[in-house]
Structure 1
Amino acid sequence: MSRDPFAAELHAWFLGRLPEGWFVEPPEIAYDRDEILVVGRLAEPSLPEGASEEERQAACAARIQRFREETRAQRMRIASEAEYRFGRKVSWGAACGPIRQSFTVLSVPVMTRLRLAERQVLDTLVEAGIARSRSEALAWCVRLVGRHQADWLEELRRALVRVQELRQAGPDVD
């Protein structure tokens, strides 16, 4: 199955543009029509033998924070170039050990129409203190579906890529 040409260009551009040594492996790059999210894995800090899991997590969180502060200006320059080139906002994140943190992600409003029963689900989540608003409750529901239906969603995405390939290879009407 061939890759999406936009995804291939996006990955190639970031691999060529990011400074050597920032990440220990190629970054994960996810995108939609509004945003590009670049998340790189950082080297784990060296800890003394017998360090606890809490110490490991604290050290990894501190490594991510250091990366965020030390690379801010350079990340902003790269993001500006990418935003101009690809027409989407760029967000950043880092992973280190078991910790993953996004720095500057968009929160994009979406419009939806819900019937009474669906609104009642959102209102129940708000009343129970799970969410502060209907908007936050809806985001919570979407995250829940994404977490519990990840395999199905991935299969659906692959099918959509195949549909796009078939459309591009379709008959020439000229």
Structure 2
Amino acid sequence: MTTHTTTAEAWLAGRLPEEWFTGPVEVRRDRDEIVVIGTLREPQLPEDADEADHEVAARARIKSFREETRERRMEIARELEHLSGKKVSWGVRVGDREALFTHLAAPVMTRLRQPERKVLDTLVDAGVARSRAEALAWCVRLVGERSETWLGELRTAVQQVEEVRRKGPDS
């Protein structure tokens, strides 16, 4: 299996039980891990339910899903890990609440989760830093400055470089 997101999404669309999620899953990936996030139906509450009631109901729905689907999710994760060569983790969304179940932490001066590793990998891929450790030091110096917009532009530029490489004379 290639590591292209749509391929993983297509495989999961065919493999996941239809009753689990309200629509297609979101697939997030970096070099080390694929995170599969599905949206669960929101619990039905009385109209006068307050925010605390919604929070309790959402947490209960997430806990129920996690416990009731654990064995099947582990089986599907093993299959996808075999096909993709990456660790697979799970998460769910209920309304505007998102919960990630156990997911990979890679040692880089601290134990970073996938979103943080993606930032470091982008900086290394673009040549801004030579390693994740150097990228982490660079990030600490520039925290809060230009982060989302600039990193998005950098990822686009890296994709363009990869496209040019694919079209090169050795392709």
TM-score by length of 2: 0.74
1:151 aligns with 2:154: no
The aligned residue for residue 89 of structure 1 is: 87
Q: How does 1:42-121 map to 2 (within 5 A)?
A: 42-110=40-108
1:4-37 superposed Cα distances (whole Å, 9 cap, x missing partner): 9622222211122111021112111111121110
d(CA) in 2 for partners of 1:164, 1:11: 22
d(CA) in 1 for partners of 2:145, 2:21: 26
Q: Secondary structure at the match of 2:93?
A: strand
The aligned residue for residue 159 of structure 2 is: 161
d(CA) in 1 for partners of 2:57, 2:145: 27
The aligned residue for residue 15 of structure 1 is: 13
Q: Report percent identity of matched pairs.
A: 52
Which of 1 and 2 has greater Rg?
Answer: 1
| Contact preservation (8 Å) 1:57, 1:98 | no
**Are the structure 2 counterparts of residues 87 and 71 from structure 1 closer, same or farther at C-alpha, using a change threshold of 3 Å?**
same
d(CA) in 2 for partners of 1:145, 1:15: 37
d(CA) in 2 for partners of 1:164, 1:102: 31
Unmatched tracts of structure 1, length 5 or more = 113-137
- How far 1:54 sits from its partner (Å)? 1.2
**Are the structure 2 counterparts of residues 150 and 83 from structure 1 closer, same or farther at C-alpha, using a change threshold of 3 Å?**
same
d(CA) in 1 for partners of 2:145, 2:91: 19
**Are the structure 2 counterparts of residues 17 and 108 from structure 1 closer, same or farther at C-alpha, using a change threshold of 3 Å?**
same
- How far 1:111 sits from its partner (Å)? 5.8
Unmatched tracts of structure 2, length 5 or more = 111-135
- How far 1:161 sits from its partner (Å)? 1.5
TM-score by length of 1: 0.72
The aligned residue for residue 131 of structure 2 is: none
More divergent stretch after superposition (80-89 vs 159-168): 159-168
1:36 aligns with 2:34: yes
| Contact preservation (8 Å) 1:37, 1:90 | yes
Task: Supply the AA of the counterpart residue of 1:94.
Answer: V
**Are the structure 2 counterparts of residues 167 and 93 from structure 1 closer, same or farther at C-alpha, using a change threshold of 3 Å?**
same
| Contact preservation (8 Å) 2:3, 2:84 | no
In angstroms, what is the RMSD of aligned CA positions? Answer: 2.9
| Contact preservation (8 Å) 2:42, 2:95 | yes
| Contact preservation (8 Å) 1:146, 1:153 | no
d(CA) in 1 for partners of 2:34, 2:170: 33
1:137-174 superposed Cα distances (whole Å, 9 cap, x missing partner): x7xx77x959972232222222212211111112347x
Q: Which runs of 4+ in 1 moved over 4 A?
A: 144-148
